Amino acid sequence: MSQLRVGLIGCGRVVERFHLPALLGSLQWVVAAASDVSEARRSWLQSQLGGVPVFEEAEQMLDRIPLDAVLVAATPDRHAELAVQALERGINVLLEKPGGTSLTEARTIAAAAELAKRHLWVNFNRRCMSNYRALAQALRALQQSPAVRGRFALSFNPLEWNSVTGHLTDVAAGGGALLDVASHQMDALGWLSGHNVGSLRVLEWSHAAGQEELRYAVELANGWSIDCLARHGPGYREQMLLEWEGGRATLFPTGIYLTSRLPGPLHVAVVRGELWLHRKLIRLGLTRDLMADSFDRQWQAFARALQAAGPADGGTRADLLRVHAGLEAIRRSHETGLQAALPSASP
């Protein structure tokens, strides 16, 4: 099949480090145009894309360049505006998470995709990471849905990311631990379990110099109970520990470790050994970095969806709405101090 033509809207670090390398290495996609409001980023794009047209305003690109799809990777406070502009022109959209700053914006985007009958995907890329996929497969292989308890910690340092716009520390622009970090957790928990979040309660939400920490307890519709930590601060941490009758699974940045109930210290020692080995293999070039690989997988899957005569949205409008319903419940629980059920995720 001929290559699909994609336009880039907003070309910050996530495009520079992950999306653009995935697209330039793809046989399925060709970057046909790009746009960014920053003159410095437009100059960078021209150095990377040669004669590909680069625009200041996304609307100029959408009106002048024939496109099969766009990547919307601007700051989250512009996600709804830009996604709707593309969808109204009949262009499919891959939207960087969180897909807007509120449930209202998520509903607006979803409604535009339904009206346009175009694909709307959201880059919750952990669905495409091999460690999360291996954990999902292991959980689905269980004889029956177990009573699972667990912990899920996800922590990034926005300063180390070196954001072009600085929006990661600007809540009004769609930054902060809720939209940047908890959005990944909301999506991953529902996808791994195959069930929606039923209710949740905020345990702590603190801010200090250079650090934001959100702790909340999630009850899933299938009875899973997961304590979550979403954090902005020094260091990087990504770990999920799930326990059930007769088993335990630990997800870490480079893989998963499944075990029966080994003593806690021995389990931790084994996981740390696995981590050390995987990091060595990555440095030696003997295995691929899972984050970069997930973006390759995401673009491959998006191309297959556009080239197949399948559902118009690939199922991801519903995912976008469920995630933002969960984020809205976190806000409500924080305001009231009580357990909060999720609001309706309907458009």
Per-residue pLDDT tens digits for 131-156: 899 899 888 877 666 789 999 999 99
Using the CB atoms, write b or e for 120-140: b if 16+ within 10 Å.
bbbbbbbbbbbbbbebbebbe
Give the span between the Cα atoms of 264 and 83, in whole angstroms.
Answer: 47
* The CATH number fitting domain 4-126+293-302, selected from 3.30.750.24, 3.40.50.300, 3.40.50.720, 3.30.2350.10: 3.40.50.720
Using the CB atoms, write b or e for 199-234: b if 16+ within 10 Å.
bbbbeebeeeeeebbbbbebbbeeebebebbbbbbe
Give the span between the Cα atoms of 20 and 182, in whole angstroms.
Answer: 25
Which amino acid type is present at position 109? I
| pLDDT over 70 (residue 113) | yes
Give the span between the Cα atoms of 323 and 16, in whole angstroms.
Answer: 26
Domain with CATH 3.40.50.720 in the chain: 4-126+293-302
Better-scored residue on pLDDT, 255 or 236: 236
Give the span between the Cα atoms of 140 and 142, in whole angstroms.
Answer: 5
Q: Quote the Cα angle for 105-335-174, to 5°.
A: 35
| pLDDT over 90 (residue 338) | yes
How far apart, in Å, do the first and last CA atoms of the chain sit?
34
Long-range contacts of 15-24 (CB under 8 A, 24+ apart): 15/71, 15/73, 16/44, 18/291, 18/292, 18/295, 19/71, 19/73, 19/295, 19/299, 20/48, 21/292, 21/295, 22/292, 22/295, 22/296, 22/298, 22/299, 23/299
pLDDT for the residue 166? 75
pLDDT for the residue 250? 85
Domain with CATH 3.30.360.10 in the chain: 130-289
Q: Name 17's Cβ contacts closer than 8 Å, sequence gap at least 6.
A: none
pLDDT for the residue 122? 95
- 76-80, 261-265, 288-292: segment of lowest average pLDDT: 261-265
| pLDDT over 80 (residue 247) | yes
- Burial classification of residue 308, based on how many CB atoms lie within 10 Å of its CB (0-12 exposed, 13-18 middle, 19 or more buried): exposed
Give the β-pairing of 4-9 and 69-72: parallel
CB 36 within 8 A of CB 57: no
**CA 297 to chain CA mean position, Å:** 13
pLDDT for the residue 347? 67
Highest mean pLDDT among 175-179, 280-284, 311-315: 175-179
Could you name the CATH architecture of 130-289? 2-Layer Sandwich (3.30)
**pTM of the entire predicted model:** 0.91
Unique residue bearing structure tokens 């990555």:
282
Highest mean pLDDT among 24-33, 272-281, 297-306: 24-33
pLDDT for the residue 275? 66
Of 203, 224, 216, the C-alpha closest to 153 is 216
Measured CA to CA in angstroms, residue 140 lies from 136, 317, 343 at distances of 6, 24, 28
Give the span between the Cα atoms of 340 and 223, in whole angstroms.
Answer: 16
